[in-house]
Structure 1
């Protein structure tokens, strides 16, 4: 079991390192210097590569027959309901997101039309403070964690992978915010002071202080 856990963590770490390395500004800046406007293809390449690497992780990682817990009625129903609520929260977080830009399709369309700008880099990033972003700076990460965590049956592979995902989301948010501070400057720094990173604790603090 220890060996299996180690291998799961190792393989996920390899995926996470590659995923983060390909997302780094240094890689993108080098590509812009070498291929210019063809950087428009990079976002789609990055997303497809990420999918392939994660599928490789799922295929190669050991899956020991060890059950951490198995919830029974009514707790399994409660967990399932919480998972649905988390999924709704995830959709709420994605509201207003340009999925074509996120996937890389919009970049290709601009390139084909001759409208792509090198200043766009691999994607156009927007500074959002509405909706779920009023409560946490990374609501997509938060609701993804909740959706993945609320599970009526938890085996060892899923549990270890889930812990790795939570850690990776947190570390990823640190690097992501460095990019956002570079891009949006004091505006984003002020936003960081007002809104928590992942846990919306200020909602409860504000309600308590208003009593």
Structure 2
């Protein structure tokens, strides 16, 4: 019975992370900050990344870790699983090639601010509509390859499995909020992209 309470606490802690992460990423919060701070919002992205990392580490270390092994693959299946994990890592790197790392981290924003080139209407980042590379096959390839990389483990315990399920759900829910902002920014062009390209799994199952 105690492991059920452990699972519930893990879910609650991750929900706290997911809510805070999504709330701080909302355009409503960013616009409110931009109204009050002006171009100083250029520092918000870096703050957001650091605070998200701190909250996630808190969740990870404070969450109970029940000593229950779900599975433990043996040779050669452990080697095969690890090989696929490495392939998924290369896929993740392929998808990340289209991302401006300095913009993602928040460094580019600060540089523009220091050069007096920042526009507060950008909020905390310049949003780009990318349809090249991995984005030709799925709208959120980084999520797809991250899920593969995290899932392909030779050994799986209960704590990791619960966290993995929470992360997968969060990726899907997060993609919905992200796409609302992209539709707001790019309009019909992004809606047409949604119709052509599947969300996370590179298989066309439905219209959106």
TM interval, shorter chain, is over 0.9
Q: Pick the aligned partner of 1:104 from 96, 103, 106.
A: 106
Residue 208 of structure 1: aligned partner: none
| Deviation of the 1:120 alpha carbon | 1.4
RMSD over aligned CA atoms reads: 1.0
1:146 aligns with 2:148: yes
Q: Give TM-score, length-normalised by structure 1.
A: 0.95
| Structure 2, gaps ≥5 residues long | none
* Secondary structure class of the residue paired with 2:71: strand
Q: Pick the aligned partner of 1:182 from 176, 181, 184.
A: 184
| Deviation of the 1:42 alpha carbon | 0.2
Q: Pick the aligned partner of 1:197 from 165, 178, 199.
A: 199
Q: Alpha-carbon deviations, 1:139-189, whole Å to 9, x = none?
A: 000000000000000000000000000000000000000000000000000
* Secondary structure class of the residue paired with 1:201: coil
Residue 75 of structure 1: aligned partner: 77
CA distance in 1, matches of 2:182, 2:191: 9
* Secondary structure class of the residue paired with 1:10: helix
| Deviation of the 1:119 alpha carbon | 1.9
CA distance in 2, matches of 1:85, 1:119: 39
Q: Pick the aligned partner of 1:165 from 157, 164, 167.
A: 167
Q: Alignment length, in residue pairs?
A: 203
CA distance in 2, matches of 1:202, 1:172: 20
Residue 6 of structure 2: aligned partner: 4
Residue 209 of structure 1: aligned partner: none
* Secondary structure class of the residue paired with 1:62: coil
Q: Give TM-score, length-normalised by structure 2.
A: 0.96
1:66 aligns with 2:63: no
